[in-house]
Amino acid sequence: MFTIYIYMSMLFIHCKSELNFHHADQSPNVSLLNCITDIINKYFSEKTLTYVDMNSDEDHILKTIHSSAVTPIVHRDTSKWSSFRHQGYLINAKTTAEVTALFEKLSKERTWNPHTRFLVVISLFKEEELNKVFDVLLKTHVINVLVVNGTDDAHLYTYNPYDNFACGKYYKDIISYGVCLQATNNLYPNKLVTGLRNCTLRASVPHRIPFAVDPLQPDEDKIIRIGIEQRILKVIEEKEHFKVNYSYDYDTIKYSKIDENFSIIGPLLKLQNNETDVMFGATLLTDLRADKFTYMHGHLDNYDDLRFIVRLASGVPTWKYVYLEFSPTVWSLLLLVFLSYSTVVIVLLRSEDKTNIILNLYGTLVSQSLKMPDRLLMKHIFIIWVWFAFLMNSIYQSSLTGMTGHPVREHQVTNHLEFVQYNFKGCLIPGIVEFLKPAFNTSEFSVIVTCQNPKHALEMIASTKQMYSFSMKSTLLYEQSTFYDKYGHPSIYRFKYQLTQFVYAMYFQKGFPFADKIRQKMLYLNDAGVIRKMVYDIQDASRNKMRFHDKEFESLFVLPWVLYFVGCGAASIVFTYEIISSRYRSNKCRQTSKRIDF
């Protein structure tokens, strides 16, 4: 029993000594904590700090910052997506491998902010692995960063990919500020001193008149040599002394989508993969794209809109002008009045030739003369009818004259609710349908024909009845030759109400540091009216290439054949009836006279 007691006592002492050893081993690095607290107090005090802890064995940094109450802290859980708008990052990691993996993950988040300041603490620091850290920082476009080794001396490191006109493409050296507590430099200086001078940006644009123009397009008439957004960037590059190399492999018809994992599908993937520096050319600004990339807008805000288009209703056949002056109700009432008045006149005159009275009353309606009867009462009755016939004839002639100057068209569809009623089919562009999906129930749009591009949609609508599509104002303006005839008459009707308005943007890689500066230059150009002048110049160039002809006078004799044949048929039947009835009465009279003679 005594032996067991001694054994347990020795085991307890050994465990206690091990515990004390571990506590001694995890004692806080005071110089490191003072270094971090000093940097946060000096450079992060006005911002909410996001703390990312990859080192679960070390919590002294978080406790020290929290107790100092220098700045608000948000503890970031790396296993979940963050919805918080980050204003500064403090990253605590063990190894450089953890840092590189973390930045690869953070850069894919919607709230990723490479423009802010970063402070990275690495516990198991190896100086020869610093290049790996700064390589991933360069790839994710993080510039304002400090790397601190988690040792007792706590050295500070940074880099500048914009030094010596490097333009953010590479860095030559890793900058060391020495021991943290002894550093007197500005640890987060302005590294963009040379700006974009002598830099060359890779631009990917589509052939999309009037916003961007590919000079090598074989079907281009060379009247518009450069697009609006290309002109704007050309003015800015001359002021800022940088160059732009264009590639025309960007297809705006393919809509770039961003899925639930914040991964992009479509042409803008080139920007995410660092295959190009800027993409523009009628590129729509959306909230997801705004979070995914660095963007600029303000130069063409609400310049364009989207509306339904259908074929313009054709003119009614000329023979229909005979009866279109009055509505069916008026014609019915006129017929009723004519029959009623004819009945009254026949009764009052007590005439045996009723047909003659009806024809006389009808003749006054078409401005024929009328012989007045001798009786005073009948004169008054006929004078009333003559005035009525004169007024109706004058109204008819006035309406006919108005229709001659303003031809009547068939029913024009002016609302999308009529598409079902008149059995309209859709000719939709896939990219526009993808854009409208978040805001509209696109399942209501019956897609029968897929239009390849906006010009193809105009061609289909201009040549096909009972079909609708979408079109932008800019497309209609610069593709007038597609749906205007040689006399300048359009064949497409654009609805008066808008489905949506567009805001166009230029997209850069997330973290591009000169976006605000270029946008400021754009706003200066816009306020000075330079961009408006560019738009008007291209519009004038587009109009000047259109040549319309004056339509010569053509004499047109229109005979309403239907009415002509109906009238001839009715007249023939009546004439035949009169001949037969006349012979019948004549024979009957002869037979009667013979009987009397007998």
pLDDT one-digit tens code per residue, 135-162: 999 999 999 999 998 777 788 999 999 9
Taking 50 as the threshold, does the pLDDT of residue 8 lie above it? Answer: no
Assess if residue 10 is contained within a domain: no
498 shares its domain with 510:
no
Q: Which residues contact 234 (CB under 8 A, 6 or more apart)?
A: 226, 244
Give pLDDT, residue 558: 62
Q: How many structural domains comprise the chain?
A: 4
Per-residue pLDDT reduced to its tens digit, 413-446:
988 888 888 888 888 887 787 777 766 665 555 5
513 shares its domain with 453:
no
| Residue that terminates a domain, selected from 152, 182, 212 | 182
Q: What is the mean pLDDT of the chain?
A: 82
Assess if residue 134 is contained within a domain: yes
348 shares its domain with 232:
no
Q: In this structure, what CATH number is given to the domain that contains residue 58? A: 3.40.50.2300
Give pLDDT, residue 24: 36
Assess if residue 342 is contained within a domain: yes
Assess if residue 573 is contained within a domain: no
516 shares its domain with 416:
no
Assess if residue 576 is contained within a domain: no
Per-residue pLDDT reduced to its tens digit, 197-254:
889 999 999 888 888 888 887 655 566 778 889 999 999 998 888 999 999 888 777 8
DSSP letters spanning 357-396: HHHHHHHHHTT---PPPSSHHHHHHHHHHHHHHHHHHHHH
Give pLDDT, residue 134: 93
Assess if residue 582 is contained within a domain: no
54 shares its domain with 39:
yes
Single out the residue of 240, 244, 317, 241 nearest to residue 280, CA to CA: 244
From first CA to last CA, the distance across the chain in angstroms is 174
Assess if residue 188 is contained within a domain: no
265 shares its domain with 245:
yes
| Residue that terminates a domain, selected from 542, 558, 590 | 542
| Residue that terminates a domain, selected from 156, 182, 208 | 182
Question: What value, to the nearest 5°, has the Cα angle with vertex 12 and ends 7 and 15?
Answer: 125
218 shares its domain with 354:
no
The Cα–Cα gap between 328 and 349 comes to 31
Range of the structural domain that residue 271 is part of: 200-300+505-542
68 shares its domain with 168:
yes
280 shares its domain with 336:
no
Assess if residue 15 is contained within a domain: no
Give pLDDT, residue 106: 86
204 shares its domain with 219:
yes
36 shares its domain with 177:
yes
34 shares its domain with 155:
yes
